[in-house]
Amino acid sequence: MTELFTVVPPSEAFRTFTGAFEPLHEAETIQVRLAAGRVLARDVRAAEPLPGFTRATMDGYAVRSRDTVGASESSPAYLRLAGEVRMGVMALGRVEPGEAPRIHTGAMLPEGADAVVMMEETTLTGEDVEVLCPVAPGESVFKAGEDAAAGSVVLQAGKRLRAADIGALCALGVVQVEVACRPRIAVLSTGDEVVPPEAALLEGQIRDVNGQTVATLIADAGGLPVPGGIVRDDEAALEAALRAALAGADGLVLSAGSSVSSRDLTARVVERLGRPGILVHGVALWPGKPTVLAVCDGKPVVGLPGNPTSALVVAWRFVRPLVRYLAGERVAQDGFDAISVEAILTQNISSRTGREDYFPASLERADDGSLRATPIYAKSSGIVSLARADALVLVPLDHAGLPAGARVRVVEL
């Protein structure tokens, strides 16, 4: 029964933590088609302009815009149909004054032409193209280099690749890309009462939940969870297990047993794993106060509380951004995601000021399209009750609860 610690605000805790170790800077080259969700290790530049040639963005006629000056329905500009630009090939020949070859969306604008007149604004009579309104230079065309200039940075190092980024790489002809290696995070559970999920329970035992929930969050954040199993609350065994796990990984997350003595044991052992050791012991977070953040010989170590709901909240708050930071992704200094979901609270929530609280809630989309969050009852020692929730409602540090009708930030489960 020791566990005497000073609680630190979660945002400050995350800053202190990430200030004490470096991202991994290990990269690998992979196929672009497998790169979604990976973090770019270096800037990608356009080797060539994109598009590579000026293209029509409408079906119509390629024209010299000056030939259409003053055109109107009552007084059309008369141009001469000069063949058709075929798709996917070089636009042979030059558009001379008074000429208007037929062109399709996506085809190459021929030399001499500087605009496209949409089909709808023309009338074709034999070989005569009547243009019914003037077009400005550049109208209905996508200019060479307009999407990306040759040599320009298209995607920056540290970016997590999404569908649109994969598309940009394909457009540029980049089929291999250098991405950060997935951070390998060892995941261990401790506690004399904890047995593997497949075990038949003896009286007094519970099955390990945190090993799998934390691994799921790590994988989701782009990391590689390395399963380390369950360790007894024995000081020597625990130290040996943690040393071995940390040696084979880039970081370590362990969920302590739920008792104070088990947590004390964990903290004592973590403190011995390497320098500088424990940086934060206790955060102003509920559920999840007895959290340990440590750096041991350059590798981050997170000690989670044992209760499943607490462990998941702390893993969301610290482990997710930790994995992203390790991979070299730009992460907000306070550890929060840049993009958040907001909802309207349907009931009062009471909490204590000076503490960041997370309340399980169900979400529902109202008829007006807004999202409604209704807190649901769930003890932090449970997990099924948390699985019944859609999200966690955040009550910020400086709030003593939130009233019904308040706009709140929620974390999708």
Q: Which of residues 218-277 bind its own copies (CB under 8 A)?
A: 219-220, 233, 257-262
Considering the complex, what minimum distance in angstroms separates the CB of residue 120 from its own copies? 10
| Contact predicate 298/286, CB 8 Å | no
Which of positions 385-404 make contact with its own copies (CB under 8 A)? 385-387, 389-391, 396
Counts for the chain of helices (H) and strands (E), in that order: 8, 26
> How many CB atoms neighbour CB 381 within 10 A?
14
Q: Phi, psi at residue 189, to the nearest 5°?
A: -120, 145
Considering the complex, what minimum distance in angstroms separates the CB of residue 59 from its own copies? 5
Residue 369, SS3? Answer: coil
Considering the complex, what minimum distance in angstroms separates the CB of residue 273 from its own copies? 24
d(CA 314, CA 176): 36
Considering the complex, what minimum distance in angstroms separates the CB of residue 151 from its own copies? 13
- Of 332, 376, 397, 406, which one interacts with its own copies (CB under 8 A)? 332
**CA 378, 382, 387, 392 torsion-angle sign:** positive
- Name the residue nearer to its own copies (CB basis): 6 or 74: 6
- Write a three-state SS string for 39-68: EECCCEECCCCECCCCEECCCEEEECHHHH
- Contact range with its own copies by CB under 8 A, out of 15-23, 61-69, 272-280, 308-316: 308-316
Q: Which residues pair with 343 in a beta bridge?
A: 408
- Name the residue nearer to its own copies (CB basis): 78 or 336: 336
Q: Per-residue x/- mask for its own copies, residues 114 to 153, rule CB under 8 A?
A: -----x----------------------x---xxx-----
Q: Per-residue x/- mask for its own copies, residues 9 to 28, rule CB under 8 A?
A: --------------------
- Name the residue nearer to its own copies (CB basis): 89 or 236: 89
Token pair for residue 95?
């558009």
Considering the complex, what minimum distance in angstroms separates the CB of residue 257 from its own copies? 7
d(CA 333, CA 396): 16
Nearest CA to 393 out of 311, 333, 291, 313 is that of 313
Looking from the CA of 280 toward its CB, the CA atoms found within 13 Å total: 30
Question: DSSP readout, 234-276?
Answer: -HHHHHHHHHHHHHTSSEEEEEPPSSHHHHHHHHHHHHTSSSE
289 is an interface residue for its own copies by CB under 8 A: no
**CA 393, 399, 400, 402 torsion-angle sign:** negative
Angle between helix 260-271 and 235-247 (nearest 10): 50
Which of positions 99-118 make contact with its own copies (CB under 8 A)? 104-108
Considering the complex, what minimum distance in angstroms separates the CB of residue 407 from its own copies? 9
Residues in the interface with its own copies (CB under 8 A) total: 109
d(CA 71, CA 130): 9
Which of positions 159-198 make contact with its own copies (CB under 8 A)? 162-175, 191-194, 197-198
87 is an interface residue for its own copies by CB under 8 A: yes
66 is an interface residue for its own copies by CB under 8 A: no
83 is an interface residue for its own copies by CB under 8 A: no
Considering the complex, what minimum distance in angstroms separates the CB of residue 284 from its own copies? 17
User: Burial level of 378, CB count in 10 A (0-12/13-18/19+)?
Assistant: buried
Q: Determine what percent of the chain falls in helix, strand and coil, rounding each to the nearest 5.
A: 20, 30, 45
Considering the complex, what minimum distance in angstroms separates the CB of residue 359 from its own copies? 14
- Contact range with its own copies by CB under 8 A, out of 22-30, 64-72, 268-276, 365-373: 365-373
- Contact range with its own copies by CB under 8 A, out of 9-17, 131-139, 269-277, 332-340: 332-340
- Contact range with its own copies by CB under 8 A, out of 21-29, 126-134, 158-166, 397-405: 158-166
- Contact range with its own copies by CB under 8 A, out of 8-16, 295-303, 349-357, 364-372: 364-372
Q: Per-residue x/- mask for its own copies, residues 25 to 64, rule CB under 8 A?
A: -------xx--x---------x---xxxx-x-x-x-----
Considering the complex, what minimum distance in angstroms separates the CB of residue 298 from its own copies? 28
Token pair for residue 317?
């708050």
Token pair for residue 301?
């170590």
